[in-house]
Structure formats: structure tokens, C-alpha cells
Amino acid sequence: MNHRGRAGGSVRREAAATRNLEAPLPPARSRTEDLVHRLRQEILSGALAPGARLPTEQRLCERLGVSRTVVREAVAALRADGLVITRQGVGAFVSADAQHRPFRIDAENLTSIARILDLMELRASIETEAAALAAQRRKASHLRELAARLAAFDAALAHGDAAVQADFGFHCAIAEAAGNAFFVDVLHYLGKLVIPRQSIRVLAQTPAAQTAYLRGVQAEHRAIHDAIVARDAPAARAAMLSHLQRSQERYRHMAGASGRRPV
């Protein structure tokens, strides 16, 4: 028996080549990936209900004409995804919480300036509310943390990269003060996507322009900080919204100025 039925893959690859000679990466799914895809679809579509038992490894081997290695690797992948759980000596079952897949934003979705602005918009919606909640709920410890983050930003004014980190730290401290762990989690997640791009934008400027830019950012930070200290939720919301809208504007400007290729 041919150990690897690449016939299908080869056909796909050739077809792609005729359409575009520049084709850099023929996907050419492996058997394992194929099986993962099939099982995942069956689970997500509900054909395999939560709690249902998957066919045994032997049956899957027979039905699909693959080796146990392939089946086991596929199941391992699904288990890593949290879609199935296996019990030695019993079988493999569809996870009870298979329905709510993890939320994820791929880097491929962020190839255009418009998409990045969309992401910043999403972030803004969360942070404005976080600022308002922080104004209502902040404790003394949160205020100390906020002040410390502001000071850290001041200290980092001269170093563009460190300043971007400190900037994010200030925002995280606000999310912490909001007293809702979900806000912190989401912000961290989005931050990892946005920060690198922001950092590059900042560092592309001259040192003098960097400092001027960062001073402006810091002034907006202080406005947010003051509103939170004053327990003025609407003001905090407005200050954060204004801050992030200007941030979007700055990004739009810098992206437009330094060529069309977003990073």
C-alpha cells in the first residue's frame, strides 16, 4: 500500500500553481490535519454531541484507512484544543464545553490598516467602560498603583520602547482598578496584538518627535487618572474615549505617512 496518498495533495498543488506561479505555500494537508479537520467539524456541527463517545481508534483506522499513529495524533490535537477528553481504558469523548471555542484573532486578520483600527476600536470600547468602573470602584491601593505607573511612564519618556511598555502598564492598572478580572484578561490579550505595532510606529520617529508625542500621551493619561481619583465616572469614560480616539488618529496619520504597508 502506498504509505502516503499524496495524490490528492499533488493535484491540489498543481492546480494552484497553474493559477498563480508565485504560490509560496501549498497547504497540502497531511493526513493527520485532514482527520483533525473532519473530527472538529463533526463536533462543532453537533453531529458528535457533547459527551458522545468517539469511535475507537481501531474503528477510525479501519473506516478512514489510516494508521493508528495518524488517529492518535489527531485525537491529541483535539484534546489540546479542549474539544475531546480521553480516558485510558474507556475511550475518547466529546468535551462538555466543546461548544464555546476559544476566542482568537489571527495575525492574518491584521494585514490592513483598517483591520487594526477595528481592533483599536474594540479595545476602546472595553477600556472606556473599564475607566468608568475604575472611577466607581477604585481602592486606595489602586490609586497608588496608578500613580506609580504614571511615574514609570515619566521615567521612560526618553526611551521609546520602554515608554510603550509603561503606557500599556498604565492601561492595565486601570483595568485592575475596575475590579473585573475579565477586563484585565481581554486587555492583556488585545495588548499583545496592538503593542508591537504601536511600538514600531513610535520608534520610527525622530527622538525629539518621540518625546513630544509621549508627552501628549502622558497629559491624556493624567486627565484619566484625575477623573478616577475624583470618582467621576463620566469624566473618566470621556477622558479614556478621547485618549484612545486620538491614539487611533495618530495611528492613522503615522500609517498614512510612512507608506502603505502596515506592520
CA 63 and chain centroid, separation: 38
Q: Which does 54 bind (CB under 5 to 8 A by kind): a second copy, DNA, none?
A: DNA
Q: Minimum CB separation from a second copy for residue 68, in Å?
A: 9
CB of 12 to a second copy, least distance (A): 16
Is 49 near DNA (CB under 7 A)? no
Nearest to DNA of 67, 112 (CB atom): 67
Residues lying near a second copy in the complex (CB under 8 A): 30, 32, 36, 69, 72-74, 76-81, 88, 96-97, 99-107, 118-119, 121-122, 124-126, 128-130, 133, 180-183, 185-186, 189, 192-193
Q: Which is nearer to a second copy, 30 or 211 (CB)?
A: 30
Q: Is 63 one of the binding residues for DNA (CB under 7 A)? A: no
Which whole-number Å values give the CA distances from 122 to 66, 158, 182, in the listed order? Answer: 44, 30, 14
Closest approach, Cβ 89 to DNA, in A, equals: 2
Q: Kindly tell me which residue out of 41, 56, 112, 141 binds DNA, with binding defined by CB under 7 A.
A: 56
CB 116 within 8 A of CB 110: yes
CA atoms within 13 A on the CB side of 256: 8
* Cα separation, 164 vs 15, whole angstroms: 46
CB 120 within 8 A of CB 243: no
Return the residue of 50, 81, 91, 258 that touches DNA, per CB under 7 A.
91
Query: CA of 199: how far to CAs of 49, 83, 105, 167, 209, in Å?
Result: 45, 36, 19, 10, 14
DSSP designation for 98: -
**CA separation for the pair 4, 70 (Å, rounded):** 11
Give residues in contact with DNA (CB under 7 A): 1-6, 9-10, 28, 30-32, 54, 56-58, 65-70, 72-73, 75, 86-92
